[in-house]
Amino acid sequence: MASATVDIGVIDLPSIPELPEFYSKYALSVLAASTAEVSTYPLDIVKTRMQIQGEDMARQAGSDSAKPRGFFGLAMDIVRKEGPLQLWRGFPPTMYRHIIYTGSRMTIYESIRDVYLVDQDSNKLLKSIGVGVFAGALGQFMASPVDLVKVRMQMDGRRILQGLPPRVTSTMQALRETVKEGGVRAMWKGGAPNVCRAALVNLGDLTTYDWAKTKIITNTDFGESYSTHALASACSGLVSAVLATPADVVRTRVMNQPTDEFGRGVLYKGSMDCFVQTATKEGPRALYKGFLPIWGRMAPWSFIFWLSYEELRRVSGLKGF
């Protein structure tokens, strides 16, 4: 008896809808930033400690500990006295920050650029600068509360060595304590230099990378290649460090200073007061304290981020940035 066969055909399963391009780019930028951050985060810890050295030296004048330490001296001090894991202290809020800040700045900049900056007019560079500043400032304003937590966590290792209790045990605890001390506005303590720094970093990073990449593709045979991305990222890292260091110094000091019972800063009245005090008491060069580690961090961060981001976009079927 012949067996009967039944042709059931191909079952059509519902296709998984693709994420809108905006959300895909948002997610890929956060993933690329995470890759760059975990690779270079220890440099940020050392840079932050270097920027606070001037305050420590003023309080410890005359003692051996008042002598300034260089980048490698500070790094070895942290590893020897606090342990190697302290080089990643404050990492969780940093990742929360990138989810808000990096995703926002990248997608905002590209969305505006692709609509309003497509024409090759003589003011395109100025418009691109304006868009970069706007995207960075807006993204950082939203991310300032978690940035405040990150700075405080980074400094807690030093507090523990001084016999003081740590201020931060978790991101949520730090945010609750901040609101309790000074209200909701306290979460944006240091927000002005933070936003200013982010605007300048975006000007150096996004706008410079975009402009340099366009020039390299236009004037060489590299095209959309690894070499183009590497050269453009090198330009963006250097310009970002030059523009952002003074605001970064002010931001770190304002965020890290103790507060009185009313939530007001004890050392500085505000960002401008910190800028003036730093320049007059320690000299204008103090505003570039930590420049080499900032550049030493921004250069590899920018390199890893842009190469990762461009490659992720290529693999995902998206055109280059």
pLDDT tens string, the chain, 321 residues long: the values are: 444 444 444 444 344 345 588 899 999 999 999 999 988 888 878 877 776 765 555 555 554 555 667 778 888 888 888 888 888 877 888 888 889 999 999 999 998 988 887 766 667 788 888 999 999 999 989 988 888 888 777 777 667 667 777 777 788 888 888 888 778 888 887 777 778 888 888 888 899 999 999 999 999 999 999 999 999 999 999 999 888 888 888 877 887 787 777 767 788 888 888 889 999 988 888 888 878 878 888 899 999 999 999 999 999 989 889
What pLDDT shows up at residue 2? 47
What pLDDT shows up at residue 219? 93
Give the contacts of 283 (CB within 8 A, at least 6 positions apart): none
Q: CATH number, domain at 39?
A: 1.50.40.10
Residue 2 located in a structural domain: no
Residue 1 located in a structural domain: no
Residue 6 located in a structural domain: no
Q: What gap in Å lies between CA 35 and CA 308, rounded to an integer?
A: 8
Q: What gap in Å lies between CA 207 and CA 134, rounded to an integer?
A: 11
Whole-structure pTM value:
0.73
Residue whose entry in the numeric block shows the structure tokens 């500070």 = 74
Number of domains making up the chain: 1
Contact 298, 240 (CB under 8 A): yes
What pLDDT shows up at residue 13? 39
Contact 170, 207 (CB under 8 A): no
Residue 91 located in a structural domain: yes
Alpha helices in 162-225, H assignment, sequence order: 171-182, 191-202, 208-219
Domain residue limits at 143? 21-57+70-315
Q: What gap in Å lies between CA 106 and CA 83, rounded to an integer?
A: 35
Residue 320 located in a structural domain: no
Give the contacts of 244 (CB within 8 A, at least 6 positions apart): 197, 200, 201, 204, 294, 298
Residue 262 located in a structural domain: yes
DSSP conformation class of 259: B
Q: What gap in Å lies between CA 5 and CA 2, rounded to an integer?
A: 9
Report how far apart, in Å, the C-alpha atoms of 65 and of each of 35, 58, 59, 61, 62 are: 36, 11, 10, 9, 8
Q: What gap in Å lies between CA 36 and CA 309, rounded to an integer?
A: 10
Residue whose entry in the numeric block shows the structure tokens 């690779």 = 39
Residue 11 located in a structural domain: no
Residue 141 located in a structural domain: yes
